[in-house]
Structure formats: C-alpha cells, structure tokens
Structure 1
Amino acid sequence: MSNATATAQDVIAQLKVSWGKDIVTDPNELEYFATDVYSQGQPLLAVLRPGNAQQLAGAVKQLTDAGIAVVPRGGGMSYTGGYTAARSPSVLVDTGSLDKIVEINLEDAYVVVEAGVTWRALKEALDAKGVRTPYFGPMSGSHATVGGGMSQGAVFHGSARYGCSADVVLGLQVVTANGDVLTTGSAAAANTSPFFRWYGPDLTGLFLGDCGLLGIKTRIVLKLIPKHAHIDYLSWQFGTPDGLFGALSALARAGLASETAAFDPALTRIRMRRASLSSDVKALTNVIKKGGLISGLKLAVKGRDIVDQEQFSLHITLEGDSAAEVADRVARARKLVESFGQSVEPSIPKMMAANPFAAWNSMLGPQGERWAPVHAIVPHSKSVAVFNALQALFAREQETMDRHGIFIGTLMSSVGAQTTLIEPCIYWPDSHNAFHVRTVDVDHRERIGCPGEHLDARAAADKLKRQIAHVMRSHGAANLQLGKFYDYRAGRDPAALALLDAIKAQLDPKGLMNPGVLAR
C-alpha cells in the first residue's frame, strides 16, 4: 500500500468516526454512486452525505489537505460525467440529504432551498402557496435537484418564456475546496437578506454552470412569481424541418409559450413504440385531474395515433393570469404558425403538463436500449443549418448504425426569445448499468427487457456521440451540462480562461474540486 493510499484510508477512517452512518463505504453503493446515466468513473473511496454546510466544509478541507479529490453530486441525472470521478483517490459528496426548503418569503418573492431539494418537491411546496419559480425544472425533476440544475444548467419547464435554471437565481451558498463557506448576492452583506442578486460584481454567476469546478453548492435562492391561474395547449404538424423551426422561432421571439417541445419523425416513432399512452392509468388520471374528463377521454381514444409519425410535430403550453390573457396568447400563436404547419389535437402537451417530471424511465429505449442525448444551443438563424448538418452526419453513418442496431431521434425546444435547443438522442442495444438498475422503475425494466452487453455497439455509439458534438461545435453551438464531455476551453478567449483559472487557483489551489470538468 502506497503512502498516498494509506493517508487516504486514514482520512476515511477518521471520517467514519465523526460522520457515522453519513459516510458510505459499501462496495455496491460505491459502484452505484460512481455511475451516471451514461458512464462509470474511477472507483470511489467513500460517499459523504452532509447534513449542513459547516459539517461539509470541515470534511472537504480534511480531504483536500490529504490530497483527496472531492466530487459533488446532485440527483444523479447527468450523462456527461459531471460527477463521475476522473482520478483516484476521490470522495463523492451526495447532496441528497441537504433537502430542506429553508424559507418561502412571499412578501419579498424569493425561496431559499438546500441543494438536494428536487424540483418536484419544490414545486409541490410552492403550489400550496400559490407561487412558483419562473423556470421550475427539467423533465427529470422527480430526481434532479436544484443544486444539480445550477451546477450543470437545466431547461424545460418554463424555459420558453423565462429562460434556463440560471435565470431564476438570486444568490448561493457554496463550500469551496479550502473549506470556506461563502455567500453570493445581497446576503453576502451583513444584515442583508437574499432578495437581490446584483450587489456589485456578479459572483453568483461564477458558480452557475461550473459543473462543480469551483465549489459545492449547499443553498440556492430563487425568484418567485405568482402561479399562473390559466393554461391552454396547442400542437401542430409540419412536413419539413424548415416549417418546424420557422414556427418554433416565431413563437420564441413573441414570448407566447411557457414550454415548447418538438419531435422529428424518428423521435415520434420511438416515443410511440413505448407502451401506448392510453394504457398508462396514472398518467391519464393526472390529465383528467388537470384538464378534465374530456381531455383524458380524447387521449385514451387516440392512443398511439396522437400525431402522424412521418411528420415533425410541435407542442406548446400557454399560461396567463386570466382566461382573456391565455385566449389572446392562443390566438396570436395560431396566427403566427398557420403558414408553417397544420394544427392537431394537443394531447401530448396536456400529457406533459399533467405529468411534468415523469421522464426517469425514458433513459432506456422502448426495447431496453441505452440512451444518450447530445444537445446544441444555437441562435434561431442557425437552427436549420445545424439540423441539416446532423442529418447529413447520420446519413453518412447509417450503415454503421444499422449494423449495430443504433437509432436516433431528435428533440427540439426553445429557451427564452433568442435560442433554439436541438437534442439528438442516441439509442443502442446494451446492458443496463448500476444507475439504470437503481433509478428506472423495476416493473418498467421488466416490461421493456434488457438487450445484454454489446461492446461494439457501445463503442460505435460513443464515437457517434462525439461526432455529433463536433458537428454542433463547428456551427458555433453552446451547451449546458458541460461535465467532462463538451468542449469548454477549446478556442475560448485566452483572457477569459486566465481569469477562470485564477479564480480556480484561489478557491482550489490543489485542483481537487471535481477534477476533469471544463477541462476540454
């Protein structure tokens, strides 16, 4: 045993005494925590489950003083290696026990949450008060946490109208590799509440989208708005990607929709190959509760024929504070899109709104295939070019894809007024890893089955994943959830990188806070 290993094991032994059941060293648990949706990292020494920031800060300093890397983890829904260890020895910090909603301040319109609160838990607590955060979580929000969404960046619920996860933040509490607990936003000043972000230089922004490079978020302050009282839904079909992207861009610039979701024909076929929506009693019940019996009956009758599987489709929700406001938004949306596509029954957005965080089983394909999304965030003016370049790539790789049973469907959305998101999803036959086994519902995995290990297909899918990212980057795309996969440093302004590196050196002089993220 090397001196470094001996020192690491000594530190873990000391932490076991002080942390008790809140430190995990069981091999099966360590395997699970070392794995994300897509890959497995280096073996872990232990997993810490802190109960507060001060307890965590002391342990982090103890670990980094001993040369042990520290890796923060939220809800685990990463597929870019955001929390998989890139080196040994490493200890993972599971923030799931930091699950308190600390303060809901209705008068000053903010909420303070600990990092391990899930988006679903937050929504349920705020629903009871008649308020919401403008952006209120990804489709995986049953498991994904607020802290994870701040570290990696997240979009979907509320994004078309209000932007991404970072757009709703007022301030943070962060534990650094030095063992410091720092506060950003107005609460960093003595006797000042966390009501305002812009108090001098925006230190909050440094830690948003950092993938845990600069520290471990332990508390987040988010804006509150009144919950919209009225909602409606629209869906369209389009014969070409030009029509779809034209409609999506027009709606985004007008700021009419709260959420937008679009599927290419391939993704529509994948979704419809799953169990018929009409057979999902729980999902139908939620539709009936939210939209009434007629909505549920229409969905049950239509089943898999909700949309033409050979067409592109777009599905949106529209919200307002009065029936008149929503009616106006609907009328304006119809007028904007009428020249691009054909209106269809909006069963899909009704289902999505009634079951906002029901995506965890979707990380496996309809026959148990593995799943890996790759996304691009582009200005509207580049959306068609990026989509077409990706289709050209898929055409060139079709023989390889067919040989290995790989298929791809593409999701599209909008984020705020300026942005289109394009996300091809790769599916390939392969075994399920420890994360899938723990996270996907047992009955769902039994129903869809498992293809078993296919190493050649896995390697081909990984190569294709990187080719997709290269095509996107060559067209000037940006990315969220950078983790250890997407390019960040390549081609970036040297002065900006020098500033980031200086901040990193100040907060983490040994480079032990989540090594490997933002390194490409």
Structure 2
Amino acid sequence: MNAAVDSAQAVVAQLQARLGAAVITDEAELAYFGTDVYSAGQPLLAVLRPTSADELADAVKALTAAGIAVIPRGGGMSYTGGYIAAQSPSVLVDTSGLNKVLEINVEDAYVIVEAGVTWRDLKAALDEKGVRTPYFGPMSGSHATVGGGMSQGAIFNGSARYGCSADAVLGLQVVTATGQILTTGSAAAANTSPFFRWYGPDLTGLFLGDCGLLGIKTRIVLKLIPLHSHIDYLSWQFTSPEGLFGALSVLARHGLASETAAFDPSLTAIRMRRASLASDVKSLTNVIKKGGLISGLKLAVKGRDIVDAQQFSLHITLEGDSAAEVADRVARAKKLVGNLGESVEPSIPKMMAANPFAAWNSMLGPQGERWAPVHALVPHSQAVAMFNALQALFAREADTMEQHGLFIGTLMSSVGEQAAVIEPCIYWPDSHNPFHVRTVDADHRERIGCPGEHLEARAAADRLKRQIADVMRAHGAANLQLGKFYDYRAGRDPAALAVLDAIKAQLDPQGLMNPGVLSR
C-alpha cells in the first residue's frame, strides 16, 4: 500500500517538475476541490490545471499509466457527486485554465470555446457581436462552465424555447483516458470547419451528458443565432398544481416562452424570507438597464411581495425580432393560459432576465441552511401525478422533517416542447463546507449566518434526497447531472448498456476516467 502511494506521489512530483504551478498539492486547495455543493469524496492526490489540450493529454496519459484515476471538473456547481473522488489515488482536472473563446464566426453561425469558459463570460463575448447561443447557460452560469454544462447536462436560460445544453452543440474536442485527443462533428474530417454536427454517426452525442465518464472536454463548438431585439414578460398565479402544469404544458407545446420558472407556495415563502429585492441595488440597476426606469421602480415598490404566498406562480420571458412578433407571442400566451390562472405583475421574470446568472448565493437558505435540489424531467402528461406523489412523500416524512428542521420548496420549469421539470429543493440546518465558504459571497454568508453542524439533520436530508429520486424514477423521470447519484444503469436496456460499456473499454481500458459516475 505504501509503495503504491509513494509511486503515485512520484508521478505527481514529476508532473510538478514539468508543469510547475499547473499541479496543485496545497491541502486547503485539495479540500476545496474535493467538495461540491452537497458532499465530499475521497482525498485528492493533486489538482491539475492545464492550459492546453496537449498539456492535458500528456498529463492524463502519465497519470493513468501509473494507475491514478482522473476526474474532470468544470465550475464545481455539481450537487450529485459529479467530480467527487470515488477512489484513491485520484487527480482532479480543474478546467478553469482552459478559458478562451477561440473563434466567433458570425457568418457561419458557430462559436468555438474552451471548456473552462463560464457561461457568463461567453455571453459577454457574444453580446458584443450581436449573437448568442440558443441555450445560454444555467442560473449558476457566473461560475458554471460550458464544459461542465456539456458533461452534466444543463437547462434554464433559453431552454423553454431552444432546449437544453446538448441541443446547442455542433462538435467537441475530448481528451481520453489514454491521452488521445479526439474530435467530433464535421471538424473531424480533414480541411473541414466545425460548422455541422451530422457527418456520419453522431459521435458528439456520446460525450454529452456522460458526466466525464468517457473523457475530458477541452473545446466545444456551439450554434449561434442573432440576439432577439425585443422582449416582454408575463406572470400568473394559480390555486392548484393542475392549473400551473396546464399552463406550462400549453405554453411549451406552442413554443412561446424563452424561459419559464414556476414556484410552489413553499418556495415562494422561502424567496420572501430572503432579503427584499428592493434592497438589492445590483438587481434593480440591471432591471433598469434592460427594461427601463418604470420596470425598476415597480420592482423597488413591490419587491418580492408580488405573488400570493399561498398560490403557485409561473413567470415567463417572451422574445422576438420585432415588437409585433413579441406582441403576438404575448397575446397568444394570454389566450392559451386563459382562465387557468390569474395574471400578476411580471416583476420576477424581469429581474431574472436582467440577472440571468445570479444564483450562486442561493445554494444556502435564508438562515444559512444547506441546500440540495433533486430534479426530474417528465412528459407534461405525467407532471401532476409526479408532483402529487412527491407531496404524498413529504406528508409521510413530515414528522422527521419537523424534528430535524428540514423544509422543501419546489421549482418547476419546461424544456422545449416535450418536458416539464420538477425540482424539489431540500433545506436543512448544517455547517458550510469548503465549497460554500469559497463560492458564496462572504458578505452574504455573514448576513445569513451558519447553523453549525447537525449530523442527524444531514443524514435525514440524505435519506429524503434518495426517497425523492426513487419516487421520480417510479414515475418514469429522466434526469440531468446524473453524476454518482441518479439511476442510470438500473432497468436500462441491456443492449444499450453493452454498447456504452464497449465504448468505455475502448476509450478507458483501465476504468480510470471519473470512476463511479453513471454506475447506479
């Protein structure tokens, strides 16, 4: 055992001699990189921060040849153990050094970006050119990276109209466990630019949503569309989940909204317990910049107290290339939702559109509680049944939740025409881990406080998280961000698994690329 440890450390020392500061062994840094939003894994041997695909490929080849597992990490916003080490020795690859927007090709409508670029930085670069990616990032896009979104699967900004992160991809560059650099899409052919995905079998799709099982993404090619020139907003409240999901469904089928976000009464109550939007100068400033002074003043006056806290609410953005197009979308949306709900002031979607990547502080509750979301994508026809099944679970667990201070609020949304999203968020009193301390703004943490360590509450949250996922699977749910938490292999077509396992064996014969993901 000691000989194995010594051998692994010798390989890391050799990499340090060659790559210098790109190899990190500081204990505090290893503790930070060894945790995600929810949990911690096995201790890391080192962190590697490459600045080129060639540098990464050489290092990965040396590490796996020595029997050392390699784990890719994007912005670190995983809550499913996506980059948590499942075995030792392991070296984590921090892709933040791969942070360049390499080409913005407006004429051919694509952008080439390195994997460590955040969605916020990509959007800023594209805004200058008057273009955007159809899907343009999760709510955590200030920290979440493009590469992470490709590996884990991501939704929200643009998802209601244009689908998830994978729907925007034209091609990839991937480093495999053997140190090969693999290209997918049309750019895999000599003298061909990366303008087209469907050139023979879709190898690109193999690496989308793989959670780093098959390799480490170093470059991504994404579609571009012109920025929409006009935007408007609508909000409704509903007395029942049937009304809410009916509205989500009909809006999705007609492709009217760019973003949809819905809250159950519990999540509305949690939002109202947080600091008033009227005191958030940055939020107000961004709303004024995007929607004008009147929008900002309405938000300042009403704050969060816009929706009846006892009702469900739905908030949408509608975009178009002319005032007439947006007006038509608004009129059609109002007609389709009709009597399902009551129209309310759309201050919440205005704020969300003005601050599309403002979610990183939300990983802690209003009094510093820990947070863990569990999501499901279901066809619209199954949404109400799944929501009600989850409410039945929470009723059965009410005594345990009260005993340990757990509470739940549920976020809902839609992806494209077919999928409804249901995401219960568990909050419980507990200490903050190194990831929270590094990521959440220090002044925000000071303001909300920290409940301190509550191991029994943590265990209760862990059990409830698994129960929620099991209810979702029983109702035919699909999931993103599978990591090491959601079921993938259980009940899956054996022929499909055999193909995946054969590809894994070809690309990673020793099984050292992110061991443990997609293993349930």
Which range, TM-score by smaller chain?
over 0.9
Is 1:470 aligned to 2:473, yes or no? no
Amino acid at match of 1:364: L
Q: What residue in structure 2 maps to residue 494 of structure 1?
A: 494
Deviating beyond 2 angstroms after TM superposition, the runs of 4 or more aligned structure 1 residues are none
Q: Per the alignment, in what secondary structure is the counterpart of residue 425 of structure 1?
A: strand
Amino acid at match of 1:217: K
Q: What residue in structure 2 maps to residue 452 of structure 1?
A: 452
Q: What residue in structure 1 maps to residue 168 of structure 2?
A: 168
Q: What residue in structure 2 maps to residue 52 of structure 1?
A: 52
Q: Per the alignment, in what secondary structure is the counterpart of residue 317 of structure 2?
A: strand
Deviations 1:140-174 (A, max 9, x none): 00000000000000000000000000000000000
Q: What residue in structure 1 maps to residue 244 of structure 2?
A: 244
Deviation at 1:233, TM superposition (A): 0.1
Q: What residue in structure 1 maps to residue 337 of structure 2?
A: 337
Deviation at 1:304, TM superposition (A): 3.1
Q: What residue in structure 2 maps to residue 509 of structure 1?
A: 509
Q: Do the aligned partners of 2:74 and 2:147 also contact (CA within 8 Å) in 1?
A: yes
Deviations 1:418-474 (A, max 9, x none): 000000000000000000000000000000000000000000000000000000000
Deviations 1:109-129 (A, max 9, x none): 000000000000000000000
Q: Do the aligned partners of 2:186 and 2:197 also contact (CA within 8 Å) in 1?
A: yes
After TM superposition, the score normalised by the length of structure 1 is: 1.00
Q: What residue in structure 2 maps to residue 102 of structure 1?
A: 102
Is 1:210 aligned to 2:210, yes or no? yes
Q: What residue in structure 1 maps to residue 283 of structure 2?
A: 283
Distance (Å, rounded) in 1 between the aligned partners of 2:185 and 2:305: 50
Q: Per the alignment, in what secondary structure is the counterpart of residue 402 of structure 2?
A: helix
Deviation at 1:303, TM superposition (A): 1.8
Deviation at 1:305, TM superposition (A): 1.3
Unaligned stretches of 5+ residues in structure 1: none
Distance (Å, rounded) in 1 between the aligned partners of 2:207 and 2:148: 11
Q: What residue in structure 2 maps to residue 391 of structure 1?
A: 391
Q: Do the aligned partners of 2:120 and 2:141 also contact (CA within 8 Å) in 1?
A: yes
Q: What residue in structure 1 maps to residue 36 of structure 2?
A: 36
Distance (Å, rounded) in 2 between the aligned partners of 1:354 and 1:17: 46
Distance (Å, rounded) in 1 between the aligned partners of 2:242 and 2:466: 26
The sequence identity of aligned pairs, in percent, is: 83
Q: Per the alignment, in what secondary structure is the counterpart of residue 70 of structure 1?
A: strand
Distance (Å, rounded) in 2 between the aligned partners of 1:346 and 1:103: 37
Q: Per the alignment, in what secondary structure is the counterpart of residue 463 of structure 2?
A: helix
Is 1:126 aligned to 2:126, yes or no? yes
Q: Do the aligned partners of 2:271 and 2:304 also contact (CA within 8 Å) in 1?
A: no
Deviation at 1:245, TM superposition (A): 0.2
Q: How many residues align?
A: 520
Deviations 1:318-370 (A, max 9, x none): 00000000000000000001120000000000000000000000000000000
Amino acid at match of 2:74: G
Amino acid at match of 2:376: A
Q: Per the alignment, in what secondary structure is the counterpart of residue 304 of structure 1?
A: coil
Q: What residue in structure 1 maps to residue 423 of structure 2?
A: 423
Deviations 1:17-72 (A, max 9, x none): 00101110000000000000000010000000001001100000100000000000
Q: Per the alignment, in what secondary structure is the counterpart of residue 195 of structure 1?
A: coil
1:269-308 paired onto structure 2 within 5 Å = 269-308=269-308
Q: Per the alignment, in what secondary structure is the counterpart of residue 377 of structure 2?
A: strand
Deviation at 1:6, TM superposition (A): 1.4
Distance (Å, rounded) in 1 between the aligned partners of 2:178 and 2:282: 47
Q: What residue in structure 1 maps to residue 146 of structure 2?
A: 146
Q: Per the alignment, in what secondary structure is the counterpart of residue 351 of structure 2?
A: helix
Amino acid at match of 1:434: P
Distance (Å, rounded) in 1 between the aligned partners of 2:53 and 2:290: 39
Distance (Å, rounded) in 2 between the aligned partners of 1:72 and 1:391: 36
Distance (Å, rounded) in 2 between the aligned partners of 1:249 and 1:14: 56
Deviation at 1:2, TM superposition (A): 2.0
Q: Per the alignment, in what secondary structure is the counterpart of residue 107 of structure 2?
A: coil
Deviation at 1:306, TM superposition (A): 1.4
Distance (Å, rounded) in 1 between the aligned partners of 2:142 and 2:303: 25
Coordinate RMSD, CA, aligned: 0.5
Distance (Å, rounded) in 2 between the aligned partners of 1:333 and 1:418: 17
Distance (Å, rounded) in 2 between the aligned partners of 1:305 and 1:51: 47
Q: Do the aligned partners of 2:172 and 2:221 also contact (CA within 8 Å) in 1?
A: yes
